[in-house]
Amino acid sequence: MLLALVCAACVDVRPEATVGIAAPNTAERARSGGAASVAGMIFVSGGCYQIGDIFDEGEPDERPVHEVCVDDFYLAEHEVTQRQWTEIMRDNPSQFADCGDDCPVERVSWDDAQEYLRRLNRKTGRNYRLPTEAEWEYAARDRGRAMRWAGTNDESELGDFAWYVVNSGNTTHPVSTKKPNRLGLYDMTGNVNEWMWDRWGKWYYRVSLRDNPRGPATGNGRASRGGSWWSVARFARIGNRYADDPSYRAGNHGLRLALGALEAK
């Protein structure tokens, strides 16, 4: 779904040019086998699943439902925080800076995220990146299970797992203060919308690769996922797809780190 809604609390700036409440799922950690431990990240063992509008209640760009397979990867337990961003970038662009260091950084563009990753990788010697849509949906759905939102299929329970329009008070909140999904990932639904690696392709699902799809080879937009503090439940669904220009900044857009399994060795 193209992100076209505007809220009064969202500041849209288009430039010219771990503290958790529950431990990650121990069974999932055990499945990592000999995988390296990476601080702040969850190992997600790869597999195949049906991506898209599996409940037949979504938007046309979520169809057709089709099988994709992803390799092993790591995904950050929570979204990049204002503290983590400031340590690398030496500034805090967030609309909700008063929310505090443990709140997700936001009002960052896809281009900004790439600069953050370049500096972070130079400092750490790793190769952190944004997740692909296929990786993100696989992890949000507990390794491809049939899930509407991260952690639950029951809308009456959504507030236990997500900050969204019903309970957010029109602001972000500290990460990891809601329940995680079964993999131990926090805020996969709500708080801030998360930039993906993929270029945007409204009809990409019609031609998607089966193995490790990374979006179309050309195109101007970039995808994002997860919904945010101002999303209604329908638009916070795991399968819901958003797109914006890579220079787009708003108070509901942030990011989460991914890392290829081989990069962690």
Tens digit of each residue's pLDDT (9 = 90 or more) over 74-126: 999 999 999 999 999 999 999 999 999 999 999 999 999 999 999 999 999 99
d(CA 68, CA 80): 27
Q: Which domains does the chain have, with CATH numbers?
A: 32-264 (3.90.1580.10)
Helix (H) or strand (E) holding 219, with range, is: none
Q: Please name the residue that has the structure tokens 């790793």.
A: 126
Chain centroid to CA 91: how far?
22
Cis peptide bond upstream of 64, omega within 30:
yes
Q: Read off the pLDDT band of 265 (50, 70, 90).
A: low
Which two structure tokens, joined as six digits, stand for 94? 């967030």
CA neighbor of 3 nearest in space, from 176, 212, 236, 258: 236
Residue 127 burial by Cβ neighbours in a 10 Å radius (0-12, 13-18, 19+): middle
pLDDT, residue 11, reads: 32
pLDDT of residue 33: 53
What percentage of the chain reaches a pLDDT higher than 70?
A: 87
Give the C-alpha separation, 208 to 232, whole Å. Answer: 28
Closest by CA to 42, choosing from 146, 206, 185, 222, is: 185
